[in-house]
């Protein structure tokens, strides 16, 4: 048991190709051994049985004949004994009366070579004799004829059959060895061929780092499992590359956005150092600008942290039953902007995070106010199973080719516009955060926009 466990453990540590090869080798070997044993045992049984039958029939014929006669005469020996059986008749003193094969060794001599352990399937009524080269079944049948007892000896050789079995066993054994050798050899070659692409996968996987993320496996389109693995591996690399590129761009964009307020703060700090103590006007201007830049930085950092949490999927949304109507009302009030018009419907309750939902609506409303001069309408329509919120402006609009990009991080249609009219930072993060909140609340966003005419964001909120 211990040895088997140790062997299995060692086998597991081997390469996959060797594991398959060894396992199949062992299974094939055991199967061949079982077939060999079966063939030999079956053959042995068949030959023993045949010999027994030959003696049995002969014994029957002799017994019947003896019952019919009073004395042995020459006509008795015309009896039709099975041709494979040697038939001898002796009297009480051992004198030979009849011998169907006088050239064969005398019976007494044969009886000195009784086989000690006959096979379990051989019939115990018969004696099994075994010399170095020959095998026999033997039966002594004493029968009384008149006043005298005669011994009828039956001998049946199974030497040739045994030889045949032995040769067959050797032939099968050699064929087994050749078969096993061939199986292991072809297994090895096939194993190497099959596992070659896997090695390529391993090699590429080992070589890949951020610097070599563009590297891919060559795909041969063979349609097999390894081919499938290679395709999945390349797709995984595509996703990883995309994610790395996005991350790189995100870091670059974030640093770029943070640089502006930092430069402003430094500039005003330098100015304060030089003239601030004496010039009250400069002092006031510098303090106001530093404060504004610090606020912008805070907005940026807060949003960046939020996006980092979104990426890591660590933001915990505290979802409670909330009324969308109420949330919209509070959000609109927080803007305190007379351009905002709110047309509300009945109460519509969903389970959501009130603070994040306010942030989501605020992002759309804020943009509508920034990118238009006219009235901005916010409408809430309750359709029972879903509520629809429409935020429409009559502003600059968005060109169709930019519509699918506005939700990307740091995307601004007008790249030069980094600040809003009231000097608030415009970093292109608002809509990407709004989209993330919407996705986490099952909210569907649709945009309809015409350049120069205005934009409508339609948010469908399910119950
Ligand atoms: P930003 O902070 O620049 O407003 P957003 O992510 O909120 O960033 O919006 C991305 C871009 O989408 C904006 O820079 C603007 O070009 C465009 N955009 C968003 N809403 C509107 C709108 N209502 N009208 C016109 N353009 C808009």
Q: What is the pLDDT of residues 296-334, one digit of tens each?
A: 899 999 999 999 889 888 999 999 999 999 999 999 999
Helix, strand, coil in percent for the chain, rounding step 5: 55, 15, 25
Ligand 1 near 51 CB (within 6 A): no
Instruction: Judge whether 282 and 271 are in contact, CB under 8 Å.
Output: yes
When pLDDT is cut at 50, 70 and 90, the band that residue 94 belongs to is confident
Q: How far is the CA of 431 from the centre of ligand 1 (A)?
A: 7
Q: What is the pLDDT of residues 219-245, one digit of tens each?
A: 877 777 878 888 898 999 999 999 888
Ligand 1 near 396 CB (within 6 A): yes
Instruction: Judge whether 336 and 365 are in contact, CB under 8 Å.
Output: no
Q: How far is the CA of 178 from the centre of ligand 1 (A)?
A: 77
Structure tokens at 389: 């919120």
Q: How far is the CA of 310 from the centre of ligand 1 (A)?
A: 20
Q: Which atom of ligand 1 is nearest to the CA of 428?
A: 8
Torsion of CA 68, 70, 71, 77, to 10 degrees: 0
Q: Which of 260, 406, 426 maximizes ligand 1 atoms within 8 Å of its Cβ, making it the mutation to test the pocket? A: 406
Which backbone phi and psi does 258 adopt, to 5 degrees? -75, -25
Q: What residues pair up with 137 in beta bridges, in sequence order?
A: 128, 156
Q: What is the pLDDT of residue 417?
A: 67
Matching residue, tokens 């097999």: 224
Q: How far is the CA of 355 from the centre of ligand 1 (A)?
A: 21
Ligand 1 near 299 CB (within 6 A): no
For range 280-300, the mean pLDDT: 90
When pLDDT is cut at 50, 70 and 90, the band that residue 82 belongs to is confident
**Per the confidence metrics, is the pTM higher than 0.75?**
no
CA atoms within 13 A on the CB side of 104: 18
Residue 342 has pLDDT above 90, yes or no: yes
Instruction: Judge whether 409 and 428 are in contact, CB under 8 Å.
Output: yes
- Return the beta strands (E) in 195-348 as ranges: 320-323, 340-343
Ligand 1 near 363 CB (within 6 A): yes
Q: How far is the CA of 301 from the centre of ligand 1 (A)?
A: 19
Ligand 1 near 391 CB (within 6 A): no
Residue 12 has pLDDT above 90, yes or no: no
Q: How far is the CA of 304 from the centre of ligand 1 (A)?
A: 17
Q: What is the pLDDT of residue 9?
A: 67
Q: How far is the CA of 435 from the centre of ligand 1 (A)?
A: 13
């Amino acid at each position: 048991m211990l040895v088997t466990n140790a062997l299995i453990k060692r086998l597991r540590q081997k390469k996959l190709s060797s594991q398959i090869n060894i396992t199949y080798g062992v299974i094939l070997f055991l199967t061949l051994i079982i077939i060999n044993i079966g063939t030999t045992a079956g053959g042995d049984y068949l030959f023993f049985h045949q010999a027994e039958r030959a003696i049995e029939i002969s014994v029957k014929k002799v017994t019947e004949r003896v019952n019919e006669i009073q004395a042995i005469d020459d006509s008795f020996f015309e009896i039709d004994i099975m041709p494979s059986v040697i038939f001898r008749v002796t009297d009480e003193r051992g004198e030979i009366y009849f011998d169907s094969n006088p050239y064969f060794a005398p019976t007494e001599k044969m009886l000195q070579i009784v086989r000690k352990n006959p096979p379990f399937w051989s019939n115990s009524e018969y004696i099994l004799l075994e010399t170095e080269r020959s095998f026999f079944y033997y039966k002594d049948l004493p029968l009384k004829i008149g006043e005298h007892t005669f011994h009828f000896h039956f001998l049946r050789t199974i030497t040739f059959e045994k030889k045949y079995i032995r040769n067959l066993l050797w032939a099968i054994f050699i064929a087994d060895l050749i078969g096993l050798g061939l199986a292991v050899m072809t297994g090895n070659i096939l194993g190497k061929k099959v596992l070659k692409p896997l090695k390529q996968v391993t090699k590429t996987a080992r070589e890949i780092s951020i610097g070599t993320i563009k590297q891919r496996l060559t795909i041969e389109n063979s349609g097999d499992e390894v081919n499938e693995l290679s395709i999945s591996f390349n797709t995984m690399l595509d996703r990883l590359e995309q994610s790395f590129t996005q991350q790189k761009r995100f870091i670059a964009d974030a640093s770029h956005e943070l640089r502006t307020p930092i430069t402003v703060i430094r500039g005003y700090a330098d100015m304060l150092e030089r003239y601030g103590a004496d010039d009250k006007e400069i002092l006031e201007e510098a303090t106001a600008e530093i404060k504004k830049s610090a606020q912008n930085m805070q907005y940026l950092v807060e949003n960046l942290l939020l996006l980092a949490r979104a990426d890591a999927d660590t933001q915990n949304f505290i979802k409670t039953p909330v009324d969308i109507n109420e949330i919209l009302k509070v959000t609109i009030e927080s803007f305190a902007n007379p351009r905002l018009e709110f047309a509300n419907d009945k109460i519509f309750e969903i389970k959501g995070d009130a603070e994040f939902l306010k942030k989501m609506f605020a992002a759309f409303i804020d943009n509508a106010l920034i990118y238009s001069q006219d009235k901005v309408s916010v409408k809430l329509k309750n359709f029972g199973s879903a509520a629809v919120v429409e935020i429409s402006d009559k502003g600059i609009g968005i060109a169709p080719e930019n519509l699918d990009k506005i939700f990307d991080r740091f995307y601004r249609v007008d790249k030069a516009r980094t600040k809003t009219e009231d000097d608030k930072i415009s970093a292109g993060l608002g809509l990407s955060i709004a989209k993330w909140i919407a996705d986490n609340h099952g909210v569907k966003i649709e945009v309809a926009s015409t350049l120069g005419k205005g934009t409508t964001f339609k948010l469908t909120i399910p119950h």
